[in-house]
Structure 1
Amino acid sequence: MTTANDQPLSARHQSVPATRRQILAGTGTTVAGIAFTGSFSELFVGTAAARGHSGYGPLVPDPDALLDLPRGFHYRVLSREGDPLRSGEGSVPSNHDGMAALRGRRGRVHLVRNHENRHDGRIGVPTVDGLTYDPAAKGGCTTITLDGRGNVLDERVAVAGTAVNCAGGPTPWGTWLTCEENEDKAGTNGCTKDHGYIFEVDGADPLRTGAVPLTAMGRFQHEAIAVDPHSGIVYETEDAFQKPFGLFYRFLPEKPLGGTGSLRAGGHLEAMRVPGVPDLSAIQETGARFEGVEWVPVPDPQARQTPVRLQDFGPKGITHAQKLEGCYWGGSSVYFVSSFAHSKDGSAADHFGQVWKYEPQRRRLTLVIVFGPASDVQLPGESPDNICLAPDGGLMVCEDGSGAQHVYGLTKRGEVYALARNRQNTGTPDAPEWGEFAGVTFSPDAATMYVNCYAPGTTFAVTGPWR
């Protein structure tokens, strides 16, 4: 999720579709804009009805220079990297990434949070007996437990010894699947075990799930998942920013919807083939629709000799895409995000973000949205990342691009508004830098939005007049 985008800014802001543009009031002298094309209504099938609003007003500068929000909204810092964990297990790890708010007993909420730690000297997830997969790896998850009023009751390790835990997704039975965006094998970078797996995490009782890799779900650079609540099929994205690019997968479990631990029973992994489309970036027209999508068995899900995306899928090949990231289930469809595609990296064409919709019952794939920056290098519109459903039936989108970083709301009417801006400058006054947002999610009662700032690792709770 944090891969640097080193294409010159002047080049990255050319030839962008701009049939729809919203100009938003920003903070100070900054004006934010974003361009989209596509049918926004398709994104919200099966969600609550949108109220028709176009945002919550301009962002108000935060005197503490942490988080700018619209008037009437407030934030609390729940956790910051380097602070002691309440469990006494060590320090809060760095690189806060994907997250989910899981319903607990007696009104409690368990925030399960990923830490995308590499071998970079940042604060790793502490190793804990019964929760550690590979002591040499620094990634994992922590859990923040909140009471019914949103007060922090506990913060502890949920799984440790995993690598580059990027995103994941919740399950219908109330657990979190955390994904390793890494495929180091034992003996590489000091690892003692193979990596590239998904792990299930019980936010209320992490020892119940432990640190067991769900090997049948494949070994590759996982990003996010979404579970079909009707069939139990798990859809998986692969974040590969260099060629060969990643694939879009589905996992057919032997025990679908069987609750915690059922995914350990195994299943079958398949990859998506769109006939005649070897690279999704080649599709630039929103509304483009492809019938008869095929699913091809993965020859070697463990990638013992060859990475999955390089394996032989037969004479028809397989469909690739650069930077497959966010993934969620809505209505009767699964939606997934390609954050960007650059022809200089080997993609068939350039774009600054796509949202795709797959309808399992119809075996139909549709390009719903194309993202693109407007005209200024500080404007948003590139690299959409984590996404979630908002209380009003729209979406919240975490930005992971250049310049200022925002959480944006997208209404069902196709309007875009800024909901939050990261003010934590990790650069210098003359050359400011702001970390991406990640892990946006809402409490089970939809009264609180939780979101992470990746660096410096900070977890916020945002309350206000949600519609």
Structure 2
Amino acid sequence: MSATRRQILARTGATAAGIAFSGAVSELFTGTADAAQLGHGGGYGPLVPDPDGLLDLPEGFGYRVLSREGDPLRSGEGPVPGNHDGMAAFAGRRGRVHLVRNHENRATAPRPVPVAPGLTYDPMGKGGCTALELDGRDRVLGERVAIAGTAVNCAGGPTPWGTWLTCEETEDRAGTNGYTKDHGFVFEVDGSDPRRTGAVPLTAMGRFQHEAVAIDPGNGTVYETEDAFDKPFGLFYRFLPNKPRGGIGSLRAGGTLEAMRVPGVPDLSTVQETGATFDRIEWVRVPDPLAKETAIRFQDFGAGGITHAQKLEGCYWGGRCVYFVSSFAHRSAGSAADHFGQVWRYDPHRRRLTLVIVFGPDTDVQLPGESPDNICLAPGGGLMVCEDGGGAQHVFGVTRKGEVYPVARGAQNVGTPDDPEWGEFAGVTFSPDGRTMYVNCYNPGTTFAVTGPWRTGHP
């Protein structure tokens, strides 16, 4: 979460609000698990305070700390970087798991990703990814730099061929903040062997403040969200690759970048009713994907304009559709209307966009925090939501029926006893076998492996 977002939440008074759902919550789970599995409710019971003061979990659950910022990397390349953010887990050989973890480091970050030969894009960039290799018992076998010299690596997304697309949430040019190269790109990272992917920007996918990506496994189309900090806000993009069959390095072959236009809707925040549907969605070619002169969201998209939205963040593929999140919108920040979070579904076969979830203020403290942020789909059905805001920080579960329950609560106080503060959660993901939930605490940078009686099969 950026400092800008914290400032916006504080100005709007949103940090004390809980959140309620309206809309078809079951929509979020389409195509992800057997219908019988999705009916689980009630959660796993109350959270038990951790005597070690790291992570509160329900009875019967436990955790292993896999990595903490400042500790030595197993590779000997330097200390573990800070600002742990987006993450994904991939199956390795002999039951091993490869975790690829983003580090959302800006130019002033005190613990940068160490420069690594052959894996560094810009020596002055302090962001990047680290990769952990785990055995079948979540013991760390290796930890190394996977890409370095990038900037503000926030989220991303997995590819169907088992690599991670890490996204730079910045559009700083060379000469800004000491950078020697332009930033604002997507990079492909192979967690099992980072040298297979190197540090090559996927320039055809655009230079903007990237947040997350999702790939249509049927035709290779890549969908991208833009988390712009200022007005005009970000766009929702699709990238049509020249090599749609995929594979490591295939996205380097280029393609066409387009932005979504919803006719008659210049700002998605003005849509407030769940179920609102828009047909005939248009895709407009981006005039200058590299933003050589003008940031993409400022460019001229013709007489019909283009559709913007504040805080476009999470993005994932489910069933035959892509889902994306507008984390919040506030008039005080320049948005056309207020909301505390939206989840949208785009059906590419019907060219149809639907608002499926709206978040709104509520007084129930058991409900998720100010806005939806990092999310993942649990193997046994349901959604995991990382809380991102003020006060106590949680990972919440959401059932198909819209029931909300706590899964984890951060116990690391980075404030003071009189004015406590807890680091947000990020990068929640599950092991390929569904038996372990991996999640990051952003500050202090900590990666946890959480085990317990996860529901992974039929009831």
Tell me, in whole angstroms, the C-alpha distance in 2 between the residues paired with 1:217 and 1:440: 25
Is 1:45 matched up with 2:33? no
- Aligned amino acid, residue 445 of structure 1: D
Structure 1 residue aligned with 2:60: 72
Is 1:248 matched up with 2:248? no
- Deviation at 1:12? 3.6
User: What do residues 278-297 of structure 1 show as CA deviations (whole Å, max 9, x unaligned)?
Assistant: 00111111111111111100
Tell me if structure 2 keeps the 8 A contact 1:35–1:371.
yes
Structure 1 residue aligned with 2:76: 88
Structure 2 residue aligned with 1:2: 2
Tell me if structure 2 keeps the 8 A contact 1:372–1:381.
no
Is 1:36 matched up with 2:21? yes
| Matched position secondary structure for 1:384 | coil
- Deviation at 1:378? 9.4
Q: Kindly report which structure 2 residues correspond to 1:48-197, keeping only aligned pairs within 5 A, or say none.
A: 48=33, 49=35, 50-197=38-185
Tell me if structure 2 keeps the 8 A contact 1:9–1:377.
no
- Aligned amino acid, residue 261 of structure 1: G
- Aligned amino acid, residue 455 of structure 1: N
User: Taking structure 1 as reference, are residues 202 and 117 closer, same or farther at Cα in structure 2, changes over 3 Å only?
Assistant: same
Unaligned runs of 5+ in 1: 17-32
Is 1:359 matched up with 2:360? no
- Deviation at 1:404? 1.1
Tell me, in whole angstroms, the C-alpha distance in 1 between the residues paired with 2:341 and 2:58: 26
| Matched position secondary structure for 2:252 | helix
- Aligned amino acid, residue 5 of structure 1: R
User: What do residues 326-364 of structure 1 show as CA deviations (whole Å, max 9, x unaligned)?
Assistant: 111000011111111110011011111111111110111
Tell me if structure 2 keeps the 8 A contact 1:378–1:404.
no
Tell me, in whole angstroms, the C-alpha distance in 2 between the residues paired with 1:201 and 1:147: 20
Tell me, in whole angstroms, the C-alpha distance in 2 between the residues paired with 1:231 and 1:400: 33
Structure 2 residue aligned with 1:25: none
- Deviation at 1:398? 0.9
| Matched position secondary structure for 1:6 | helix
Tell me if structure 2 keeps the 8 A contact 1:38–1:369.
yes
User: Taking structure 1 as reference, are residues 179 and 121 closer, same or farther at Cα in structure 2, changes over 3 Å only?
Assistant: closer
Tell me, in whole angstroms, the C-alpha distance in 1 between the residues paired with 2:81 and 2:42: 37
Tell me if structure 2 keeps the 8 A contact 1:440–1:449.
yes
Structure 2 residue aligned with 1:26: none
Tell me if structure 1 keeps the 8 A contact 2:314–2:325.
yes
- Deviation at 1:11? 4.9
| Matched position secondary structure for 1:106 | helix
Structure 2 residue aligned with 1:322: 310
| Matched position secondary structure for 2:7 | coil
- Deviation at 1:380? 3.8
| Matched position secondary structure for 1:373 | strand
Tell me, in whole angstroms, the C-alpha distance in 1 between the residues paired with 2:199 and 2:8: 38
| Matched position secondary structure for 1:155 | strand
Structure 2 residue aligned with 1:390: 378
Unaligned runs of 5+ in 2: none
Tell me if structure 2 keeps the 8 A contact 1:57–1:71.
yes
Tell me, in whole angstroms, the C-alpha distance in 2 between the residues paired with 1:11 and 1:118: 25
- Deviation at 1:393? 1.6
- Aligned amino acid, residue 141 of structure 2: L
User: What do residues 276-330 of structure 1 show as CA deviations (whole Å, max 9, x unaligned)?
Assistant: 1100111111111111111100000000000000000001110000111111100
- Deviation at 1:82? 0.1
User: Taking structure 1 as reference, are residues 212 and 40 closer, same or farther at Cα in structure 2, changes over 3 Å only?
Assistant: same
- Aligned amino acid, residue 268 of structure 2: L
- Aligned amino acid, residue 39 of structure 2: R
Structure 2 residue aligned with 1:19: none
- Aligned amino acid, residue 61 of structure 1: P
User: What do residues 423-444 of structure 1 show as CA deviations (whole Å, max 9, x unaligned)?
Assistant: 1111111111111110000000
- Aligned amino acid, residue 113 of structure 1: R
User: Taking structure 1 as reference, are residues 362 and 244 closer, same or farther at Cα in structure 2, changes over 3 Å only?
Assistant: same
- Deviation at 1:381? 3.1
User: What do residues 4-60 of structure 1 show as CA deviations (whole Å, max 9, x unaligned)?
Assistant: 33357695459x9xxxxxxxxxxxxxxxx6411111121111121313222111111
- Deviation at 1:371? 1.5
User: Taking structure 1 as reference, are residues 101 and 315 closer, same or farther at Cα in structure 2, changes over 3 Å only?
Assistant: same
Tell me if structure 2 keeps the 8 A contact 1:115–1:141.
yes
| Matched position secondary structure for 2:94 | helix
Structure 1 residue aligned with 2:216: 228
Structure 1 residue aligned with 2:427: 439
- Aligned amino acid, residue 28 of structure 2: L
Is 1:215 matched up with 2:216? no
**How many correspondences in the alignment?**
450
Tell me if structure 2 keeps the 8 A contact 1:99–1:111.
yes
Tell me, in whole angstroms, the C-alpha distance in 1 between the residues paired with 2:109 and 2:208: 24
Tell me, in whole angstroms, the C-alpha distance in 2 between the residues paired with 1:112 and 1:461: 14
- Deviation at 1:103? 1.0
Structure 2 residue aligned with 1:370: 358
| Matched position secondary structure for 2:422 | coil
Tell me if structure 2 keeps the 8 A contact 1:379–1:403.
no
Tell me, in whole angstroms, the C-alpha distance in 2 between the residues paired with 1:150 and 1:375: 38
User: What do residues 383-405 of structure 1 show as CA deviations (whole Å, max 9, x unaligned)?
Assistant: 21111111222111111112111
Q: Kindly report which structure 2 residues correspond to 1:279-294, keeping only aligned pairs within 5 A, or say none.
A: 279-294=267-282
- Deviation at 1:267? 0.3
Tell me if structure 1 keeps the 8 A contact 2:211–2:224.
yes
**Aligned alpha-carbon RMSD (Å):** 1.6
- Aligned amino acid, residue 263 of structure 1: L
User: What do residues 166-198 of structure 1 show as CA deviations (whole Å, max 9, x unaligned)?
Assistant: 000000000000000011111111110010000
- Deviation at 1:149? 2.0
